[in-house]
Amino acid sequence: MKKKYHTLKNKMKLESVKGKAALYVYQDFWAQIVVYNMIQDVLHSSNKTIEKETEKRKYKYPIRINENIAIGLFKEKFIKLLIEPNDRIREEKLIQLQNS
């Protein structure tokens, strides 16, 4: 739980709220929670893929995706994915986001 809170607070800047009215604070908070859950979903599926690919090899430490880099990539590429009008290209961008 501490690690998740640390991620929300420090890596995703949960406390940097733009609005002053209670409604805007709630909206910002829940939007950050949704984005956090989406990032965790992508991380989880990507880590599972890495586990399958590296199953046969022996490493000293398990290979995992860097959460800081994943958050940065997600924030950068997800908006572009959302505004893409073409469904096929949007799906390709989602797959690319999961693989990057």
Q: How far apart are CA 61 and CA 49, in angstroms?
A: 16
Helices marked H in 18-66: 22-53
Element (H, E) at 67: helix 67-83
For residue range 39-76, list pLDDT tens digits in order.
888 888 888 888 888 888 888 888 888 888 888 888 88
Give 24's contacts (C-beta < 8 A, 6+ positions apart): 17, 18
Name the percent of the chain lying above pLDDT 70: 85
